[in-house]
Amino acid sequence: MKRLSDVKRIGYGAMRLTGPGIMGPPADPDEAVRVLQRAIELGVDHIDTSDYYGPYVANDLIREALHPYPPELVLVTKVGARRTDDGAWLPAFSPDEIKAAVHDNLGRLAVERLGGVNLRFMDDWEGSFEEQWTVLADLRSQGLVCDLGLSNCTPEQVKIAQDIAPVAMVQNAYNLAHREDDDFVDALAEQDIFYVPFFPLGGFSPLDIEAVNGVAAKHGATHMQVALAWLLQRSPNILLIPGTSSVAHLEENLAAGKLHLDDDDLQTLNALG
């Protein structure tokens, strides 16, 4: 099975395939299927998803659109949370819930092995998690998971996890405007651990496009392409999973991989952090 270490640097995040508030079905299910199929046509080999997107909507769409999957496709999910009927995000973090969530993702995606699983901490989580990580390590030993990662985590949590099982990736919020993880990105790069930023384009707080419009105009690109290109040039351990529910936007995001920012561009953009 292909490993995360073998994927291209721009993948696809499936969260935006769902309805408003990451709940329920998309407004245009057919377009959602087209987005996934077009992603594969354009060479995407890394899709990030979770059962709690929808809930279940994103995984069901992925299976509908792409199963049986191309052999090069790496499916990465995350566990540790659940959704309520009114859309709230709550922890589902007991060892039994973690194990059940992995098996649920396996079943929902119709795979025998997941390319990766991220253990996601709710905001400001400060409790122990060794039992939960040990559960994931055991599932990895059983061949049900290929790589393990942590999401919404701290450097100290990575150190604790590494003593139990290898951390292959970290998923935290990071983009041009939100740079709190600058030192963390560099430290992970030294350990050959991937950093997969969520909200690379700002997420629920979109980036200030005025700050990058000059660079975008210079290259005949969009501000979003510049933001993605900056991340790719920021550090070689960064993998991108920008999400969208539009084929046109998908193609635009993937084209950012061909955009090269020069030293003047980087100086301008680095000053935004």
Catalytic residue numbers? 53
Alpha-carbon distance of 162 to 28, in angstroms, equals 42
Order of strands across the sheet that contains 114-120: 12-13, 46-48, 74-79, 114-120, 145-151, 169-171, 194-195
Task: Give the position of tokens 């245009």.
Answer: 28
Backbone angles phi, psi at 166, to 5 degrees: -60, 140
Using a 10 angstrom Cβ sphere, with 0-12 exposed, 13-18 middle and 19 or more buried, the burial of residue 1 is middle
Q: Which helix (H) or strand (E) holds 158?
A: helix 155-162
Determine whether 200 is exposed, middle or buried from the number of CB atoms within 10 Å of its CB (0-12, 13-18, 19+).
buried
Instruction: Show Cβ contacts of residue 243 under 8 Å, excluding neighbours closer than 6 positions.
Output: 12, 13, 14, 15, 16, 17
Here the tokens at position 100 are 């059940």
Cα separation, 17 vs 50, in Å, equals: 11
Pairing verdict, β 114-120 and 145-151:
parallel
Distance, CA of 249 to CA of 116 (rounded, Å)? 26
